Amino acid sequence: MLTKRIIPCLDIKNGRCVKGIQFENIRDAGDPVELAKWYAAQGADELVFLDITATNEERKTFAELVRDIARHIDIPFTVGGGIGSVEDVEVLLMAGADKVSINSSAIRTPQLVEELSNRFGSQCVTVAIDTKYTDATGWKVYTRAGTIETEHGTVDWARKVVDLGAGEILLTSMNNDGTKAGFALDITKAVSEAVSVPVIASGGAGNMQHFADAFNKAHADAALAASLFHFRELEIPDLKRFLKKQGVEVRI
């Protein structure tokens, strides 16, 4: 049985870690380097660093900050935000990132997924999918930090990017994001069963049982959270001990 992963997410705006609710009402959550060091010491399996305004402001992720974070941790580290070319990825990997996450650029230029996979290996390429459910459309993919609805159904898009070479899916439910009401188990399960690569559940974690449900009910390979960890509402060692008792295989 593969070990399930617990992944804190550091959403970065203007060099600070922030957190919002349903992609809005952003508030400060601390210094990203200090948080990264804390999570590594706490037993996080990986970190995700997303520059949440890089795409909308048409600028690149801060490679210097990536370098600073990578210098202080010894766990895998994914970076996303404003990545639009092979050259962007080269800079981030050279700065110390283990993987990159692309979202809007994958929708805009799907062949970029294939180019990155061919150049760096699929294990380096995570495609982030921001998805939202409405009664009128079902689960649809959104782009540009969740501000624009696309024509893509979520499961179909996940299948497509995996076919192009994505090695992992980071699936965020905009409906659940920041609500602490639990992960979107239905769409997470649908995507997990539709693709052959790991799926990271994101959006909505509020307690330990939510993580267990993401693994046991939705078949996620990893679960990501931000505010729960940033504001010390939940400690990673406690969470892992709980999951172990629930029959979830985790690295203690």
Q: Which of 11, 45, 213, 221 is catalytic?
A: 11
CA distance 203 to 95: 28
Is 11 labeled as catalytic in the residue annotation?
Answer: yes
With beta carbons less than 8 A apart as the criterion, state whether 6 and 205 touch.
no
Q: Which of 45, 88, 130, 177 is catalytic?
A: 130
Strands 77-80 and 99-102: parallel
Q: What is the pLDDT of residue 15?
A: 76
Is 130 labeled as catalytic in the residue annotation?
Answer: yes
Average pLDDT (183-211) is 98
Q: What is the pLDDT of residue 30?
A: 74
Q: What is the pLDDT of residue 1?
A: 64
Predicted structure pTM score: 0.92
